[in-house]
Structure 1
Amino acid sequence: MGPMPRKIAPPHRDDILLAVISVAAGLLLWALGVYSSPSRNLLPDWAALVPLVALGAMEPLRRSAPNLTLAVGTAGVIADQFTVGNLGTVLIFTDLMYAAVVYGKPAMARRLPVTTGLITVAVSIAAVAWLRTPQALMIGVITGIVSFGPALTGATLRNHREAAVAARLRAEQTTLLAEMDRTQAVVAERARMARELHDMVANHLSAIAIHSTAALSIDSPATSREALGVIRENSVQGLAEMRRLIGLLRDSGAGAGEEAVAMPSLGALDALLEQARTNGAASGLGFVLLDGLDRREGREGGGGSEPLPAPVELAAYRIVQESLTNALKHAVPGTVTVRLALAGGLLSVTVDSPYGDRPGPRAPGSGAGLIGMRERAELLGGRFGSGREGAVWRVWAQLPAEEKAVRA
């Protein structure tokens, strides 16, 4: 089955009105005996009405069928040259030429101004060569007014319209891209704050859950008192962390600067492990930090190397913090080892926890911690991994330690 023929849109009201006015004006001129070429007697005077009516019938189709109207208009204006001529026919032809450029296909809109310009030049040269009088140039001028002028006007208008459409589309695309950027920024910020909230609070809540479960499970005043002490300490620290996070979210004035200074770094790992020792003592867990970084002031043997970028220190601290939280939840009694090393422009962070069947109470996990650690590493262009290696559960990360790598 062949393709369906393209339907021609109904005539525009203005085109119908234009056709009626044009034909009526041509009939009036003919009735008054006003002809464009009265000296031509090849055909009867009424023959000039045939091209007039034919071209007038094309006016309602000037938008929907520009190719057809231009072809009929060209034939009609040529036929008009063999009669006494009617100015209305010529005027209708100029409008059909203009409409063919404005409403026709892009290829036609590009070709017609060039074609009519060449025809104008050719007619001018031929008229001068044939008649050999300066007045012969008027034939070329009239030809340009009737054909080249409308085509050039139509091309100019079409270019302006296309430029306006292109500008509107660019504006819409810019608005859409801006909205997409805003949405992505909001999603990224929400993900960042979710990681901060999880990493800052999960450690304290996990310790509270484990020790409260132990206090309820073991009927011993000493155990209950010890558990309540740990619970209180973690509650106070968790509340302080929540207040700091709220201040970070508000991001206002001097408070924002204070929060930026208070952001944790690798220098606070000793305090973090000391807190982990307190929280994990009841579970038989010990914690050891093997710090291979020579970057703190006051160390024997020198002042240390260049400090790590702040985003790298924060990410490494949070990865260690979340790994210790997971060890408190799931590790069996034993030693949790934290290793830091710097080599080849990469900061390596490794946390090994004893793996096995754990007796006693344990806090539930959601898996969000591993996701957050992976996101932190990948956002800095680093790598992250975790998994069981024999009797050890290992969490490791490699982060770029150079400022330019982090900024890229």
Structure 2
Amino acid sequence: MDLVTEAAPTPNPPSTRNSRFPRPHRDDVLLAVVSVLAGVLLWSLGVYSTNNRHFFPAWAALVPLLVIGPMELLRRTAPRLTLAVGTGAVIADQFTVGNLGTVIVFTDLMYAAVVYGKPAMARRLPITTGLVTVVVTVVSVAWFRTPQALMVGVITGIVSFGPALTGATLRNQREAAESARLRAEQTALLAEMDRTQAVASERARMARELHDMVANHLSAIAIHSTAALSIDSPATSREALGVIRENSVQGLAEMRRLIGLLRAAGAEQEAAATPSLDGLDALLEQARTNGTASGLDFVLHDGRPPGQPLPAPVELAAYRIVQESLTNALKHASPGTVRVRVSRADGLLTVGVDSPYAGEQPGPRAPGSGAGLVGMRERTELLGGEFTAGRAGPVWQVRAVLPAEEKAVAG
């Protein structure tokens, strides 16, 4: 900041006048004192700027100096006022023996008016002083008709146009630097927002993968462990323990595969760890084993034409939707047949799972959190598809329509 920071509040608050006119910058105070003293010294040594065309006594050259010198105190806070007073003082100085101190102070006030003034004034002053320089040069040559008359225009340009142009250049550089700083801050902010969004998206993806891979096995473990505890039959308990062990081993393998996916550095490892719709038969076979205690059977109707591969994200999403639907069927479905349908037509892949549902049924059931439906909907919407789930009479229906073309998924 160009202005000195105001002091902390004291028991006796400053007057209204002090708060309205900020304290001058210490550099401006030093500049004002040095300017006045230097002007007085030059005058006392007889160094004049207009020695041959004065109309007043020599001491009169000190009056414009003493008027313009204190204006340095306000060069930052009131540039318009200081420039107006300085212009009057330098014009009055031309009718005396002249003081170089007055002229030098005026050049600084012109420079400060461009640097610290309002944008409109900063734009106008270089143009105005340039025009004044040209006019003075032309008039001087026309009036005196000597080559030396060009020096009048040169001096006018040095005193007025030069400082204004210098101030405009500095101001433009400062504004460009400020714009660059703001752009850098904005870029950093956008990058941080992108990073935060990417982290949140990755956390959501990991949550969906973890839920879909593990929930199926844990649900089967919960159902069969409940059956083993509630049914007093060694054969039933042994069968339930076998299912529990199988799901525990498979769940552990899924967890290891997820950990490997998170640690994988290359796309080949990720592709190897991604399940596809070719594994639906094994998925339904596992569901049949887990659903025996609940009286459930599972049937697959695969209507996909052969030889038409799907994009990897679509394969994964469809597989996880079927997997989560089967898990929900194990938790909530009534005894009966769960039908899984997969078809492809018109560039769309349709996945449907119908399970019998007639309210809460007696027998062992695993609790649900509702995260499964949220995950299936998120998977579908991320690919630009449509997802529906709900009751249709005695049947719970899950439908997902996904784009089956590579360009649609990439877009």
Q: Where on the TM-score scale, by shorter chain, does this alignment land: which range? A: over 0.9
Q: 2 CA distance for matches of 1:263 and 1:142?
A: 81
Aligned twin of 1:299: none
CA displacement 1:304-348 (0-9 Å, x = unmatched) = 3x2111110110000000000000001111111111111221101
1:310 match: 312
Match of 2:222 in 1: 209
Deviation at 1:258?
A: 4.3
Do the aligned partners of 1:8 and 1:65 also contact (CA within 8 Å) in 2?
no
**Is the deviation greater in 29-38 or in 326-335?**
29-38
2:37 to 14, 17, 24: 24
Which residue of the partner structure matches residue 300 of structure 2? 289
- Structure 1 residue 175: Cα displacement: 2.0
State yes or no: 1:260 paired with 2:271: yes
What is the SS of the residue equivalent to 1:36? coil
Contact in 1 for aligned 2:261/2:269 (Cα 8 Å): no
Partner letter of residue 279 of structure 1?
A: N
Superposed CA deviations along residues 105-124 of structure 1, whole A, max 9, x for unmatched, are 11111111111001100111
Matches within 5 A, 1:167-246: 167-246=180-259
- 2:398 maps to 1:387: no
Distance in 2, matches of 1:347 and 1:314, equals 12
1:97 aligns with 2:110: yes
Q: Which residue of structure 2 aligns with residue 301 of structure 1?
A: none
Hey, what's the Cα distance between the residues in 2 that align with 1:246 and 1:17? 69
- 2-side partners of 1:332 and 1:8: how far apart? 84
Aligned in 2, Cα 1:65/1:201: closer, same or farther, shift over 3 Å? same
* Offset at residue 9 of structure 1 (A): 2.6
Please say if 1:145 is aligned against 2:153. no
Deviation at 1:259, TM superposition (A): 4.9
SS in 1 for 2:20: coil
Check if 1:329 corresponds to 2:368.
no
* Residue of structure 2 equivalent to 1:374: 377
Is the CA contact 1:339–1:351 (under 8 Å) kept in the aligned structure 2?
Answer: yes
Q: Distance in 1 between matches of 2:63 and 2:336?
A: 108
Alpha-carbon shift at residue 362 of structure 1 (Å)? 1.0
Q: Which residue of 2 aligns with 1:401?
A: 404
Are 1:37 and 1:83, in contact at CA under 8 Å, matched by a contact in 2?
yes
Instruction: Kindly state the Cα deviation for residue 252 of structure 1 after the two structures are TM-superposed.
Output: 4.5
Cross-structure match for 1:51: 64
Q: Secondary structure at the match of 1:337?
A: strand
* AA partner of residue 354 (structure 2): D
Structure 1 counterpart SS, 2:362: coil
What runs of 5+ residues in structure 1 fail to find an aligned partner? 296-303
Structure 1 residue 361 corresponds to structure 2 residue 372: no
Question: Which string of whole-angstrom CA distances, capped at 9 and with x for unpartnered residues, describes residues 153-190 of structure 1?
Answer: 11111111122222222222222222222222111111
Q: Which residue identity is paired with 1:267?
A: D
Counterpart of 2:234, as a letter, is: P
CA contact (8 A) 1:23 1:53 kept: yes
Amino acid in the other structure paired with 2:161? F
Structure 2: which 5+ runs fail to align? 1-15
* Residue-by-residue CA offset, 1:49-68 (whole Å, 9 max, x unaligned): 11101110100111111111
| Contact residue 244 and residue 259 of structure 1 kept, 8 A | no
Answer yes or no: is the 8 Å Cα contact 1:215–1:223 preserved in 2: yes
Q: Residue 76 of structure 1 corresponds to which residue in structure 2? A: 89
Q: Offset of 1:355 from its aligned partner?
A: 1.2
What TM-score do you get using the length of structure 1 for normalisation? 0.93
Instruction: Determine the C-alpha separation between the residues in 1 that align with 2:54 and 2:182.
Output: 57
Inter-CA distance 262–250: structure 2 relative to 1 (3 Å threshold): closer
**2:13 maps to which residue?**
none
Q: Name the SS for the 1:26 alignment partner.
A: helix
SS in 2 for 1:238: helix
Name which of 265, 284, 288 aligns with 1:277.
288
Separation of aligned partners in 1, 2:199 and 2:20: 48
Q: For each residue in 1:271-318, what CA deviation from the matched residue of structure 2 results, as whole angstroms up to 9, or x when unmatched?
A: 1011101111110111111111012xxxxxxxx3x2111110110000
2:50 to 19, 27, 37: 37
Equivalent residues of 2:54, 2:94 under 8 A apart? no
Secondary structure of 2:135's counterpart equals helix
Distance (whole Å) between structure 1 residues aligned to residue 269 and residue 149 of structure 2: 90
Secondary structure of residue in 2 paired with 1:111:
helix
Deviating more after overlay: 170-179 vs 75-84: 170-179
Where 1:50 maps in the other structure, the secondary structure is helix
2:326 maps to a residue whose letter is L
Cα distance in 1 for residues equivalent to 2:292 and 2:46: 118
- 1:192-234 per-position Cα deviation (integer Å, ceiling 9, x unaligned): 1111100000000000001111111111112111111111110
| Contact 1:116 1:144 (8 Å CA) reproduced | yes
Could you tell me how far apart the structure 2 residues matched to 1:191 and 1:89 are? 72
Considering only aligned residues, what root-mean-square deviation do their CA atoms show, in Å? 1.5
**CA deviation string 1:122-167 (max 9, x = no partner):** 1111111122222111111110000000000111111111222222
Equivalent residues of 1:204, 1:237 under 8 A apart:
yes
Q: How many equivalent pairs are there?
A: 394
- String of CA shifts for 1:336-382, please: whole Å, max 9, x gaps: 11111112211011111111121212111111111111111111111
1:37 Cα offset (Å): 1.1
Is 1:285–1:332's contact at 8 Å kept on the other side of the alignment?
Answer: yes
SS of equivalent to 1:9: coil
Task: Write out the 4+ residue segments of structure 1 that deviate beyond 4 Å after TM superposition.
Answer: none
